[in-house]
Amino acid sequence: MDMEILRTKYRDRILQIANKYKAENVRIFGSVVRGDNRIDSDIDFLVHFKEGASLFDESGLDIDLCDLLKCKVDVISDRAIRNEFKPFILSEAIPL
């Protein structure tokens, strides 16, 4: 799946699901952004979880996005990025 499809076909539904699980500032990074994704590539989401979000919200978001997009997804909280990866991920991440 590419960025254009994510933005045109799935954007509104992804944002609704994110809101359901107390997530905002949804961004995409990784192979989809770089354009070097393959048919079996996952989609990497970077989000900010609002105050009060729990591990159930994080896992629920992951599961629902996977169900919607019919592929593996990785959801990463912007608060959980390891320092050595932070500059790379933040420079690559683009808003959905």
pLDDT digits (tens, 9 = 90+) for 26-50: 999 999 999 999 989 999 999 999 9
Radius of gyration from C-alpha coordinates of the chain: 12
Residue ranges covered by each domain of the chain = 3-95
Provide the pLDDT for residue 85.
Answer: 94
Looking at the predicted structure, is the pLDDT value of residue 1 above 90? no
Which CATH entry fits the domain spanning 3-95: 1.10.3720.10, 3.30.460.10, 3.40.50.1220, 1.10.1370.30?
3.30.460.10
pLDDT digits (tens, 9 = 90+) for 52-68: 999 999 999 999 999 99
What's at 42, amino acid-wise?
Answer: D
- Bigger pLDDT: 1 vs 71: 71
Smallest CA-to-CA distance from 95 within 56, 39, 40, 45 is with 45
Looking at the predicted structure, is the pLDDT value of residue 91 above 90? yes
Provide the pLDDT for residue 12.
Answer: 98
